[in-house]
Amino acid sequence: MIRAVLTLADVRGLSPAQAAARWMACEDLTQPPERDQFQQWLDSSPDNQAAWHAVQRMWDAFDDAEDNDLIAALGRAARQAGPAPARSYWPPVIAASLAVAVVSTMLLVGFQAGWFSQGMRPPAGDRVQASPLQVASGADYTTGPGQRSIVDLPDGSRLTLDADSAIDVVFTGKTREVRLLRGHAFFDVAHDPAHPFSVDADSRIVTALGTQFDVLLSAGAMRVVLAQGSVSVRNASGDASMIKLRPGEAFEAKSRATGKVSTIDLDDALAWKQGVVEFQDEPLATVVAKLNRYTRAQIVIKDPRVASMRITGLFRTGDIGRFGRSVSQVLPVKLVARDANTFELVASKR
C-alpha cells in the first residue's frame, strides 16, 4: 500500500493551528518528502512556528496522560494515522482521517481554552496584547498557580510571565518601565536607544536597550539572567555603582545585599519556559515550594527529615503524580494523597 503524503497544498487555507495539528499527525516528519514540505511551511511564517511549538507542547499532554484512556487512545491513533489523500474514500483512510480530525480538534480546543483538565495545563498561557499604560496602579498582568502568560507590549517587546507572578507596566512618551511585583518573567525587549527599557525588582533596576533577559523574585532575593545582548543592574536608591552582565551571566542578591555575578547554564536557567525546572542538590523543601507554583493542588512536607533531603533532577511542571513517582525512585519517600488538592511527601521504608 502506498503511504499517503501530506503536502503544502493539503494545508493551504488552514489556520496555523489546524495545519500544525495535521503535520503533527504525520507518521515521520524526518523523512522526505514530508520533511521538506514541512520545513517550507514552518519557515514561511512566524505564526506557523508559534503554532508548531504550541502543538508540540500539547502533544506532551498525550504522552503524559497515563491515566486518561481517551487521551492515550487518541495519541496512539494519531501516531498510526497518516494524513489522508484528498480524494480517497477507502475505509482505512477514513478511519485515519477521523483520528487526525479528533486529535486536531483536541489540540485546537487546547489552544483556545487551556488544557483538557486542571491537572494538564499548558506550559504557556494566553497571549495578551497590552495597551499603552501611563499610571502605576498595582498589577496590570497576573498569573495564578499553574498559569503562564505571554504579553505583547505596545513598543513591540514581549514578556513571558511565569506562574504565580505579577507585573505593573508604565509606558510614557519618554520611558518604558516595568515593575516585577512578584514571581518570574522573561523579557524580549524591542530595540529603541531613545527609550531604555527598565525593570524594577526588589530595590534593583535592570536596564536594557534591546535584549533578552530573565528576572526572578523569590524569598527575599532576586536574580537576573542575561540570555542575549547586555543589561545593567543598579540599586533603585540611586547608588552610583552599576553592574553590567554578559550573555550567560547571572546577578543574584538577597534584599539590599551587594550581590554577585556568576556564569550559569542558560538552558537550565530558562528551562521553565519549556515547562520544566531543574534542581542541583537542593532540599526537597525548596523543590516543593517551587513546583507548588505550577499547580492548584499542593504538596506539603511536615517531616523535617524529609524536607532536608536533597535531590538533583529535571522535573516537568504541573504534574504532581509524575514528580512523586520520580522522587520516590531516588529517595526514601512517597507521595500520599490527603485530599483532592493536598498531597504529602512522607518518609518510606526501602
- Residue 4 pLDDT exceeds 70: no
Q: How many CB atoms lie within 10 A of CB 3?
A: 10
Which residues have C-beta within 8 Å of that of residue 23, sequence separation ≥ 6?
Answer: 6, 11, 29, 34, 38, 41, 52, 55
pLDDT score recorded for residue 220 = 79
**So what's the pLDDT on residue 239?**
65
**Between 304 and 319, residue with greater pLDDT:** 304
Calculate mean pLDDT across residues 287-303.
Answer: 89
Secondary structure letter of residue 189 according to DSSP: P
Strands (E), 91-156: 127-129, 141-142, 149-152
Confidence of residue 57 (pLDDT cuts 50, 70, 90): low
Q: What is the pTM of this model?
A: 0.54
Mind listing the pLDDT tens digit for each residue in 71-119? 444 444 444 444 433 333 333 333 333 334 444 444 444 444 333 333 3
Mean of pLDDT values over 315-320:
85
Its CATH class, for the domain covering 275-347, is alpha beta
Q: Which three cell numbers stand for residue 176?
A: 518604558
Mean pLDDT calculated for residue range 29-51: 80
Rounded mean pLDDT of 296-309? 93
- The CATH number, out of the four listed (3.10.105.10, 1.10.3300.10, 2.60.120.1440, 3.40.50.970), of the domain defined by the range 127-269: 2.60.120.1440
Supply the pLDDT for residue 93.
35
Residue extents of the structural domains in the chain: 8-113, 127-269, 275-347
Q: Is the link from the previous residue into 33 a cis peptide, with omega within 30 of 0?
A: yes
pLDDT of residue 30: 67
Which pLDDT belongs to residue 131? Answer: 43
Mean pLDDT of the chain: 75
Strands 298-300 and 342-347: parallel
CA end-to-end span of the chain: 53
Q: How far apart are CA 295 and CA 118, in angstroms?
A: 8
Asked if 11 and 47 touch (Cβ cutoff 8 Å), the reply is no
Q: Which residues of 278-306 are buried (b: 16+ CB within 10 A; e: fewer)?
A: ebeeebbeebbbbbbbbbebbbebeeeeb
